[in-house]
Structure 1
Amino acid sequence: MLSRMTLRLGAASLLALSAALPALSETSYPLVLENCGVSVSFDKAPESAVTVGQATTEILYSLGLGDKVAGTSVWFTPVLPEFHDLNEGVERLADNDPSFESVVAKRPGVVTVQYEWHIGAQGIVATREQFADLGIPTWTMPTDCVAKDNTQGSDGTRLEMFSMDSLYQSITELAAIFDVSDRGETLVADLKAREAAAVAAAQALDLQEASAVFWFSSAEMDIDPYVAGRKGPPAWMMQSLGLKNVIESDEEWPVVSWETIARANPSVIVIARMERRRFEADDYEKKLEFLKSDPVTSQMDAVKEGRIVVIDAHAMDPSIRNVGALEELAAALPAFGLK
């Protein structure tokens, strides 16, 4: 199993890439964006932000905007190591879902959102209109609405295969909102280069028959698991690396029986590691114990032969960690002897 991956974008590489890119014009305000079906306007760069979703937090940190973050919420795993000290100085409003009141109390210049089910038409925190009524703009990552229907399934249904373009759009838009477009271009360029290198490494293996399943968690240890559907970020990773996804649902995280998964007999099992303990199966060590002891799962070839990869749960959702997870998987595949 591989160690926790990190985003290898340090200050030195950031400066080097910036020097190689042409200078970009400053953001022209007012900036108007069509964001997940809502028109949002900014008269100037926001002076502060509250993040509802770890993905937006880490993008802002990566853009050098940590000093603008007044509060964070919705965490699955520890912050990327390079941002540990910075994050320690930022108030965490909630590990999971923040209250509407706690977000508003920070008087943010913008609320950045990872999932529409937190802040959206049926948002469990609030609707976008509730924030707009108070003069607080909200911005949602395009990764959660581009070619995606969030009215179907508990986590939404993908209408098309997830594309990193929507993540790069997320980075570019946030950078424009805060008038740091040059930093956004630098970050995107680095991620694209790493993505291409990981894909090239996997394609060199010329996998023909290999398959995989991504197990996020389970409501109970011994019941049907939440696994990755065929069009989300994990599916994109599998497609990029030449692996067939044994799950055929378009839902983001469908519930599928272990009997069905065992019949498909995936070549590789990828399991999520997280700090969250909402369910017993959030603990990746419990997942490993289950796979090896359950009479159904223990018979799968991937379990018998140890073809199991553990990655951060947050890397299974749209985030800057997607590329790191792609790198981890590409590095693990050669040792499995797949064809």
Structure 2
Amino acid sequence: MRTAIVTATLLLVSGCGATVAQDASKADPVTVTNCGQQVTFDKVPSKVVTNDTGITELMFALGLKDRMAGYVVDGDNTVDLQTSPWKADFDSAKKLADKISKEVVQGANADLVFAGWSYGFSESSGFTPDALKQLGIGTYQLTEACRNGAGKQRGIMPALDALYTDLRNLGKIFRVEARAEALIKGYQQQIDNAAKVMAGKPRPKVFLYDSGQDQPFTSGRNAAPQDVIGKAGGDNIFGDLDDSWTTVNWETVVQRDPEVVLIVDYADGEANTPAQKQAFLEGFAPLRNSPAIKNKRFYALPYAALVESPRNPASIEAFAKYLASA
């Protein structure tokens, strides 16, 4: 078995640099269901502030850059922007800040903030949909990060369903329904093609390793890696957890005996590079007998490919090809 630390450049040709004309005749209010609540938009938002790479790429994929006041992305997350199929859009759109805040969105005169819980929204920072409502600023919440009623756990539907839900909702809000449906159709075909790569082959047990040495941070069944792994032909070892991104313990990782490790590539510091993460796992004594470690089966994808984003289908395709060849 060979070691494969790969940061894939995921090209989605159909989404790159798209520009979609708005139909000004469709001026009636529209209502969508967002995180279980009916939300009405009286007009097409024209000064949207997005937070995080994947969320911003949803707007770019729909050709909505001209509806944005700007975006907020962590300045250290260079791999996301370098590998983005919408790099030209990131370069030409306005970056507002590294961290989102009330001051940032007010300074941009935002009429809509597109973010999610732990993707910008947080009680601890005071940046919440309720707080923005008091300022007269509308919000749209990332469906992957919707809270499901069990404390602060997140996720109310399978990851790809969340992606399609947001594309359809955004299509309706911005009057680009045809564009949204065309994207979804293309993504579904891409995923169907990826399924053929591993058809009839054993499904390896996959451990999604985001970060953490004392306790690992990983993905439950409600975050994008669940479908990236599952649709590629593997099984997420924490697919039984009714949560999205969450902390577990090493004892459980060892017990579940992963055969492949999928690493999140942030490239935001030496300790967080895929090579550093692989070195830690290879030197972590409790895992030394797991098949993933013994056979050096590691694969890495950029952060934006492993959160809800239009990169998910290409991530599935890339990971399926790795599983089939490793």
**Residue matched to 2:207:** 213
TM-score (norm 1): 0.82
Tell me the secondary structure at the aligned position of residue 206 of structure 2.
strand
Could you tell me how far apart the structure 2 residues matched to 1:315 and 1:82 are? 11
TM-score (norm 2): 0.85
**Residue matched to 2:85:** 82
**Residue matched to 1:106:** 108
* Number of aligned residues: 315
1:171 to 160, 167, 182: 167
Tell me the secondary structure at the aligned position of residue 114 of structure 1.
strand
Could you tell me how far apart the structure 2 residues matched to 1:257 and 1:127 are? 30
Tell me the secondary structure at the aligned position of residue 243 of structure 2.
coil
**Residue matched to 2:258:** 266
Query: What aligned pairs does 1:269-288 form with structure 2 within 5 A after superposition?
Result: 269-277=261-269, 281-288=271-278
Query: What aligned pairs does 1:178-189 form with structure 2 within 5 A after superposition?
Result: 178-189=174-185
What is the CA deviation profile of residues 187-236 of structure 1, one whole-angstrom value per residue up to 9, with x for unaligned ones?
1111111111112222x24315x211100111xxx412112224432222
**Residue matched to 1:21:** none
Q: Which amino acid aligns with 1:92?
A: K
Structure 1 unaligned blocks of 5 or more: 19-23
Q: Is the 8 A contact 2:211 2:218 kept in 1?
A: yes
Could you tell me how far apart the structure 1 residues matched to 2:117 and 2:73 are? 10
**Residue matched to 2:54:** 55
Per-residue deviation at 1:47? 1.8
Aligned CA-pair RMSD: 2.9
1:48–1:14 distance in 2 versus 1, CA, 3 Å: closer
Per-residue deviation at 1:332? 0.5
Could you tell me how far apart the structure 2 residues matched to 1:159 and 1:46 are? 26
Could you tell me how far apart the structure 2 residues matched to 1:246 and 1:56 are? 26
Could you tell me how far apart the structure 1 residues matched to 2:16 and 2:258 are? 41
Q: Is the 8 A contact 2:17 2:61 kept in 1?
A: no
Could you tell me how far apart the structure 2 residues matched to 1:39 and 1:135 are? 18
Query: What aligned pairs does 1:217-296 form with structure 2 within 5 A after superposition?
Result: 217-218=211-212, 222-247=213-238, 248-277=240-269, 281-296=271-286
Q: Is the 8 A contact 2:49 2:69 kept in 1?
A: yes
1:34–1:231 distance in 2 versus 1, CA, 3 Å: closer
Query: What aligned pairs does 1:6-45 form with structure 2 within 5 A after superposition?
Result: 6-10=10-14, 27=26, 29-45=28-44
Per-residue deviation at 1:171? 0.9
Q: Which amino acid aligns with 1:245?
A: N
Of 250-259 and 54-63, the range deviating more from structure 2: 250-259
Per-residue deviation at 1:259? 3.6
Per-residue deviation at 1:299? 3.1
More RCO (CA 8 Å, sep 6+): 2
Structure 2 unaligned blocks of 5 or more: none
1:139–1:104 distance in 2 versus 1, CA, 3 Å: same
Q: Is the 8 A contact 1:273 1:282 kept in 2?
A: yes
**Residue matched to 1:305:** 295
**Residue matched to 2:312:** 322
Q: Which amino acid aligns with 1:40?
A: V
Per-residue deviation at 1:310? 0.8
Q: Is the 8 A contact 1:143 1:170 kept in 2?
A: no
Tell me the secondary structure at the aligned position of residue 237 of structure 1.
helix
Q: Which amino acid aligns with 1:111?
A: V
Tell me the secondary structure at the aligned position of residue 309 of structure 1.
strand
Q: Is the 8 A contact 1:27 1:177 kept in 2?
A: no
Per-residue deviation at 1:28? 5.2
Q: Is the 8 A contact 1:27 1:181 kept in 2?
A: no
What is the CA deviation profile of residues 120-143 of structure 1, one whole-angstrom value per residue up to 9, with x for unaligned ones?
7x3735222332233321111223
1:240–1:89 distance in 2 versus 1, CA, 3 Å: closer
Per-residue deviation at 1:83? 2.1
Q: Is the 8 A contact 2:144 2:222 kept in 1?
A: no
Per-residue deviation at 1:116? 6.2
Q: Is the 8 A contact 1:54 1:114 kept in 2?
A: no
